[in-house]
């Protein structure tokens, strides 16, 4: 069974963390991701637009990404790997009001429902955490021996990904959607560029930050010898006000074997008292303020407003804190 | 002798070419070497996932004997085998010619023998007459059978409404009407080598909604009791109920068994939208339950309809489910009216 990672009491573990340090680091990281993209758009720092999705093609030269890769998990290590995320922490996302309403009412207890227990991390999140260490393998047509695509194994919940490199079109909108979505790739300037559609409803962070079926994700697998960076750009007209840009780092690890991945999760009824059709959720109007209060920062600064992703926001944040007479918690 | 040698050479060449061609076709269709569980479900379901051109009928092999026919946003279902074709719904009347042409093209030696109407709306029943005319040499038939007759199955309430028997309804042409009805929770059919259950759960979208469970193929056709493209459409004049709707969704979740990590396994074909499995129905059930609970709580607090609308209890879902044909306002109003007059659910779900 999947373990809930977002819980109110966990926020207490963050006491002593310097809010200013955390937010500054987050802003710098965001800036580092955004700048290369923004630079492509002369004079238009915001909003960031996703690079044009490449057409599927069959060119495979110079972008081989196959191998055993260990995740470095350097980005957002604290909430991906160490402590887990917190209810009410939507920092780093360009959320709209609909997404905030969704996230505020998401209750981790929903993961106890039999229909939710065996859900793997969705494509919008799967490459991010925790880990994962992955095996990226080529597969070929056994008749022609032609290169068909890549598979990615080792991700949480066996949400194995397939990246089709044979130029096939994406399925129609009325076809089935899956956790891994439908991915096609092509080589472009030494990068493997992957476009993914047909993803089920998912999340960007394990505290209810939603991703809709209208999401489209463009990933750039950029290999530098034994290192690889994946840049992800996710568009979602339902929940995001602008493109969500994130990076992930991996290192080649020839001795790694992601191991026997098993056959997924077992569904187990654990709570007998819930009636049929019961769906846990927080009451309408709930606001999770514990995270902001623990850090000593304004609640609004934690609610995923797009302006809070950019370095310019730091000055505004400091002013808001001065106006409120609040002192950030110290590490 | 030379002629014989030339003939033999030509024959060998032809055989070799045939073998190569067969191998290539086989590779295209089965993609050997890639374990089936590794194939993304859309590819697993559709060997050649080619989008249909606008205005064309999109044919999606689902699994077993069952195909989903996409008519823009509306879906109908064909179960095909040695016995012929069973259709779940016949689509809007304006699609009839294209549906008939598609069935004849894809299944040239099969005749439509059975139709199940999931409810009485025109997008479910509009093609009844044309399809009976095209395939039913003996016209429409009742439970007694008869040469070439097509049987049209529905819940009794659907016939009552289509025949104008129910209050406020207009009589539909005789050739469109169901010929075999039932009033119990289930009607059983055996067709094309598999048991099929036509299931009635009470009022939901209308008061005559049925779902069709193909037990051998492991596919459920839900009609409009489950859709992916809009909020549940509550037809107030025809006995709809948000709690009945949720009951039907919960029942679908009871029937479905996911194959692996909450996808695959029992497939669900919605009345409108994309091919689904348990997790898709689960999302929809969860969110509509949350909306029901929110509106229920607001009614308990004495909020007026206008106040409820202003609070935007569906904001988190509007980007996906609000449409021009069935807006957020219409949906919230229908739920508010239904819950204001109807029985409360046994227990609301919020903490």
Q: What is the pLDDT of residues B235-265, one digit of tens each?
A: 988 989 999 999 999 999 999 999 888 989 9
Segment 124-143 of chain A within 8 Å of chain B by CB: 139-143
ipTM above 0.90, yes or no: no
Question: What was the pLDDT predicted at A261?
Answer: 56
Burial of A265 (0-12, 13-18, 19+ CB in 10 A): middle
Global confidence as pTM: 0.84
Question: What was the pLDDT predicted at A28?
Answer: 46
| Inter-chain CB proximity A176 and B26 less than 8 Å | no
pLDDT tens-place string over residues A99-152: 999 999 999 999 999 999 999 999 999 888 777 889 999 988 888 888 999 999
What is the pLDDT confidence band of residue A15, given thresholds at 50, 70 and 90? very low
CATH for the B52-341 domain, from 1.10.1740.10, 3.40.1350.10, 3.30.70.1400, 3.60.15.10: 3.60.15.10
- Please give the structure tokens belonging to residue B350: 């919020």
Q: What is the mean pLDDT of residues A86-111?
A: 96
Shortest CA gap A172–chain B (Å): 4
| Inter-chain CB proximity A280 and B58 less than 8 Å | no
pLDDT tens-place string over residues A249-263: 999 999 998 865 566
Cα dihedral A144, A148, A154, A158 sign:
negative
| Inter-chain CB proximity B311 and A120 less than 8 Å | no
Shortest CA gap B139–chain A (Å): 33
Question: What was the pLDDT predicted at B48?
Answer: 39
Q: What is the mean pLDDT of residues A308-331?
A: 84
Question: What was the pLDDT predicted at A33?
Answer: 41
Shortest CA gap A283–chain B (Å): 5
- Residue B283 has phi, psi (to 5 degrees) of -55, -50
- Residue A246 has phi, psi (to 5 degrees) of -140, 155
Determine the Cα–Cα distance for residues B336 and B342; give it in Å rounded to an integer: 10
Question: What was the pLDDT predicted at B43?
Answer: 41
Buried residues in B178-214 as b, exposed as e (16+ CB within 10 A): bbbbbeeeebebebbebebbbbbbebbbbbbbbbbbb
CA separation, residue B313 to residues A102, A267, B39, B226 (Å): 10, 31, 39, 21
Shortest CA gap A43–chain B (Å): 31
Question: What was the pLDDT predicted at A58?
Answer: 45
pLDDT tens-place string over residues A161-201: 999 998 888 999 999 999 999 999 999 999 999 999 999 99
Beta bridge partners of A248: A230
**Taking Cα atoms as reference points, which of A96, A76, A127 lies closest to residue A214?**
A96
What is the pLDDT confidence band of residue A1, given thresholds at 50, 70 and 90? very low
Domain assignments of chain A as residue spans, ordered by start: 18-41+49-324
Question: What was the pLDDT predicted at B125?
Answer: 97
Question: What was the pLDDT predicted at B86?
Answer: 98
pLDDT tens-place string over residues B46-96: 343 566 778 899 999 999 999 999 999 899 999 999 999 999 999 999 999
pLDDT in tens, chain B (351 residues): 454 455 555 545 544 444 443 333 333 333 333 344 444 443 433 343 566 778 899 999 999 999 999 999 899 999 999 999 999 999 999 999 999 999 999 999 999 999 999 999 999 999 999 999 999 866 777 655 555 689 999 999 999 999 999 989 999 999 999 999 999 999 999 999 999 999 999 999 999 999 999 999 999 999 999 999 999 999 988 989 999 999 999 999 999 999 888 989 999 999 999 999 999 999 999 999 999 999 999 999 999 999 999 999 999 999 999 999 999 999 999 999 999 986 555 444 554
Shortest CA gap A199–chain B (Å): 11
| Inter-chain CB proximity B51 and A264 less than 8 Å | no
Question: What was the pLDDT predicted at A44?
Answer: 33
Percentage of residues in chain A with pLDDT exceeding 90? 59
Close Cβ partners of A184 (under 8 Å, ≥ 6 residues apart): A56, A163, A164, A165, A167, A168, A170, A194, A195
Contact at 8 Å (CB) between B192 and B79?
yes
Q: Write out A254-292 in H/E/C secondary structure.
A: CCCCCCCCCCCCCCCCCCCCCCCCCCCECCCCCCCCHHH
Selected for mutation to probe chain B from A279, A283, A285 (highest B CB count within 10 Å) is A279
Average pLDDT taken over every residue of chain B: 86
- Contact status of A156 with chain B (Cβ, < 8 Å): no
**Taking Cα atoms as reference points, which of B75, B153, B151 lies closest to residue B111?**
B151
Determine the Cα–Cα distance for residues B315 and B45; give it in Å rounded to an integer: 33
Domain assignments of chain B as residue spans, ordered by start: 52-341
Burial of A128 (0-12, 13-18, 19+ CB in 10 A): buried
For residues A25 and A319, the model is more confident at A319
Give the nearest chain A residue to B247 (CA atoms): A277
Question: What was the pLDDT predicted at B143?
Answer: 56
| Inter-chain CB proximity A116 and B282 less than 8 Å | yes
What is the pLDDT confidence band of residue A266, given thresholds at 50, 70 and 90? confident
Q: Which residues of A touch B345 (CB under 8 A)?
A: 277
Beta bridge partners of B191: B194
- Contact status of A115 with chain B (Cβ, < 8 Å): yes
Determine the Cα–Cα distance for residues B194 and B80; give it in Å rounded to an integer: 11
Ramachandran assignment for A74, one of left (phi > 0), alpha (psi -120 to 50 degrees), beta (any other): alpha
Beta bridge partners of A223: A228
Q: Give the least confident one: A34-48, A150-164, B328-342.
A: A34-48
Helix, strand, coil in percent for chain A, rounding step 5: 25, 25, 55
Q: Which residues of A touch B247 (CB under 8 A)?
A: 277
What is the pLDDT confidence band of residue A27, given thresholds at 50, 70 and 90? very low
């Amino acid at each position: 069974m999947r373990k809930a990672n977002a819980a109110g009491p966990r926020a207490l573990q963050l006491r002593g963390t310097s809010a200013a340090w955390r937010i500054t680091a987050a802003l710098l990281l965001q800036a580092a991701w955004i700048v290369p993209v923004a630079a492509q758009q002369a004079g238009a720092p915001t909003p960031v637009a996703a690079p044009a999705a490449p057409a599927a093609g069959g060119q495979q030269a110079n972008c081989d990404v196959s191998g055993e890769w260990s995740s470095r998990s350097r980005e957002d290590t604290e909430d991906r790997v160490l402590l887990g995320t917190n209810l009410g922490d939507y920092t780093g996302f360009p959320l709209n009001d609909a997404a905030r309403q969704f996230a505020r009412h998401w209750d981790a207890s929903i993961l106890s429902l039999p229909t939710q227990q065996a859900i793997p991390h969705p494509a919008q999140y799967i490459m991010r955490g925790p880990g994962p260490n992955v095996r990226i393998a080529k597969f070929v047509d056994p008749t022609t021996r032609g290169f068909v695509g890549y598979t990615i194994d080792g991700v949480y919940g066996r949400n194995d990904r397939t990246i089709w490199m044979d130029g096939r079109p994406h399925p129609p909108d009325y076809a089935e959607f899956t956790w891994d979505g439908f991915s096609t790739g092509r080589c472009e300037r030494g990068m493997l560029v992957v476009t993914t559609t047909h993803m089920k409803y998912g999340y960007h962070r394990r505290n209810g930050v939603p991703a809709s079926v209208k999401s489209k994700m463009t990933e750039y697998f950029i290999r530098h010898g034994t290192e690889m960076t994946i840049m992800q750009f996710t568009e979602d007209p339902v929940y995001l006000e602008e493109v969500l840009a994130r990076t992930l780092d991996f290192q080649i690890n020839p001795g790694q074997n992601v191991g026997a991945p098993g056959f997924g999760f077992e569904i187990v009824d654990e709570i007998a008292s819930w009636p049929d059709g019961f769906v846990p959720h927080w009451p309408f109007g709930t606001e999770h303020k514990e995270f902001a209060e623990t850090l000593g920062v304004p609640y609004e600064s934690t609610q995923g407003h797009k302006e809070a992703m950019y370095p310019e926001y730091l000055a505004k944040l400091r002013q808001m804190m001065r106006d409120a007479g609040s002192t950030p918690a110290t590490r | 002798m030379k002629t014989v040698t030339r003939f033999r050479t030509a024959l060998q060449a032809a055989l070799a070419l045939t073998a190569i061609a067969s191998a290539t076709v086989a590779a295209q269709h089965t993609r050997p070497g890639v374990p089936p569980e590794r194939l993304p479900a859309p590819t697993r379901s559709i060997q050649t996932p080619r989008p249909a051109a606008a205005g064309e009928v999109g044919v999606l092999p689902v699994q077993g004997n069952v195909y989903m026919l996409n008519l823009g946003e509306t879906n109908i279902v064909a179960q095909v085998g040695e016995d012929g074709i069973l259709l779940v719904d016949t689509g809007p009347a304006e699609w009839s010619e294209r549906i008939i042409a598609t069935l004849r093209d894809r299944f040239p030696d099969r005749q439509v023998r059975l139709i199940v109407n999931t409810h009485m709306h025109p997008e479910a029943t509009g093609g009844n007459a044309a399809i009976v005319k095209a395939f039913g040499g003996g016209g429409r038939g009742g439970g007694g059978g008869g040469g070439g007759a097509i049987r049209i199955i529905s819940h009794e309430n659907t016939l009552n409404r289509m025949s104008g028997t129910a209050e406020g309804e207009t009589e539909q042409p005789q050739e469109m009407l169901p010929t075999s009805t039932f009033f119990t929770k289930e009607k059983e059919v055996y067709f094309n080598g598999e048991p099929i259950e036509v299931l009635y759960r009470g009022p939901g979208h209308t008061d005559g909604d049925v779902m069709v469970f193909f037990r051998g193929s492991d596919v459920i056709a839900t009609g409009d009791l489950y859709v992916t493209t809009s909020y549940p459409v509550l037809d107030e004049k025809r006995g709809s109920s948000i709690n009945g709707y949720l009951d039907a969704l919960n029942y679908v979740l009871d029937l479905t068994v996911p194959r692996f990590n909450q996808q695959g396994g029992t497939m669900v074909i919605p009345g409108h939208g994309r091919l689904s499995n348990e997790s898709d129905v689960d999302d929809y059930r969860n969110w509509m339950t949350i909306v029901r609970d929110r509106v229920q709580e607001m009614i308990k607090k004495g909020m007026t309809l206008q106040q409820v609308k202003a609070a935007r209890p569906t904001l988190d879902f509007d980007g996906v489910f609000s449409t021009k044909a069935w807006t957020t306002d219409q949906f919230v109003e229908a739920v508010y009216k239904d819950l204001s007059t109807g029985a409360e659910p046994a227990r609301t779900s919020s903490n």
